[in-house]
Amino acid sequence: MPNPEKEQAVAVLEERFKKSKSLVFASFQGLSSAQIVEMRREFKKNKLEYYVVKNTLANIAAERAGIKDTENFFKGPTGVCIAYDEPALAFKLAHQISKKFEKYKIKGGVFEGEVVPLQEVESLAALPTRPELLARLAGAFQSPIQQLASVLNAIIQELPGVLDEVRKQKEETEKAAAASAPAAAPEAEAATPPAAGGAAS
């Protein structure tokens, strides 16, 4: 059982893991100080968080957050990149950094709650982010119908994240409709005439 200080560290990591859309775990052993500074700057510029974690505590936090089968990620020095909005972005940027810095070695990650082994990281890194996908859709609707069909056929394969956006918009619309319904009900009742033969006072 971790001591109070370590228990607090586990609780903080657990909360971050639960809130995340994706996580990328990687080894940073062998990176120079300048490379680490540049790497952190890139993550921060793209609104991603990066932390060096203690393997035992991070593994406990992952288990408490409901993320299973991550034991192999927590061997040797470990840093974790966390995305809260764009799940593909963490994989995309981590993959770019691994190409730029040979010593930055990705171990695997978590995408929308699903554990991602190392061999699948590159395919996730190739996914478009939500802004990229929406921009492609916007451009497609301004194209001739043949081009539109072709672009849509390609985009249909890359819909993760967009469905989530649609769901959020639908929920907001339903909430707005529910909020306006009570105000409309009294007006409807006032406009309804009494039934014929009804009791009169």
Top pLDDT among 190 and 80 is at 80
Number of alpha carbons in the 13 Å side-chain half-sphere of residue 9:
16
Look at the block and give the residue holding tokens 């990281």: 121
User: Percent of the chain scored above 90 by pLDDT?
Assistant: 48
**pLDDT computed for residue 191 by the predictor:** 47
pLDDT at 14 > cutoff 80: yes
Top pLDDT among 153 and 63 is at 63
Residue 26 — φ and ψ, nearest 5°?
-150, 155
17 membership: H or E segment, kind and range: helix 4-19
Question: Would you say domain 4-125 falls under CATH 3.30.70.1730?
Answer: yes
Average pLDDT over residues 146-170: 57
pLDDT at 52 > cutoff 70: yes
Residue 80 — φ and ψ, nearest 5°?
-125, 130
Residues contacting 68, CB < 8 A, separation 6+: 115
pLDDT at 153 > cutoff 80: no
- Angle, alpha carbons 141-142-144 (nearest 5°): 95
> What are the structure tokens assigned to 32, written together?
């120079």
User: Percent of the chain scored above 70 by pLDDT?
Assistant: 64
pLDDT at 193 > cutoff 60: no
Nearest Cα neighbor of 27 from 49, 45, 61, 52 is 52
Give me the numbers of helices (H) and strands (E) for the chain, helices first please.
8, 5
Query: Which tens digit of pLDDT belongs to each residue from 109-129?
Result: 999 888 988 888 888 887 766
**pLDDT computed for residue 190 by the predictor:** 47
**pLDDT computed for residue 32 by the predictor:** 96
Residue type, 12: V
Spatial separation of the C-alpha atoms in residues 21 and 43, rounded to whole Å: 15
**pLDDT computed for residue 109 by the predictor:** 93
pLDDT at 192 > cutoff 90: no
Average pLDDT over residues 156-181: 62
- Report how far Cα 138 is from the mean position of its chain's Cα atoms: 22
Domain boundaries along the sequence of the chain: 4-125, 130-174
Nearest Cα neighbor of 66 from 116, 110, 7 is 110
